[in-house]
Amino acid sequence: MEEYLLYSARCNEIEGMQECLDANVPIDYQNEDMGNAALHLASANGHLPAITFLLENGATVNLLNKSKNTPLHWACLLGQFEAVKLLCEWQTKNPDRPES
């Protein structure tokens, strides 16, 4: 189910992500090879609904992968400007949320 969470985030499938959370998959699960979490993949693909869903359900906005990149780094690198804006706005509106 952990990998299904990542797949669902990459494909912007909210129902799949909800199914994973209902099965107690950790929202910040990171894959073994790169250390990417669902928020990294949703951000890289510019999926605003998935990004919003993940953040509203407790995903860590500045979670580092094995390359020390955050979801914001990936959104910037791949030109996902609306995702960049959303992640920055979330960070500004939620400064007391725990960080990685």
Q: Which residues contact 96 (CB under 8 A, 6 or more apart)?
A: none
Place of tokens 């129902």: 15
Residue whose C-alpha is closest to residue 43's, from 94, 87, 88: 87
Q: What domains sit in the chain, N to C, each tagged with a CATH number? A: 2-93 (1.25.40.20)
CA distance 87 to 52: 9
For 26, the token pair is 């950790």
| pLDDT at residue 23, as a whole number | 97
Per-residue pLDDT tens listing for the chain (100 residues): 999 999 999 999 999 999 999 999 999 999 999 999 999 999 999 999 999 999 999 999 999 999 999 999 999 999 999 999 999 999 888 866 555 4
Burial of 35 (0-12, 13-18, 19+ CB in 10 A): middle
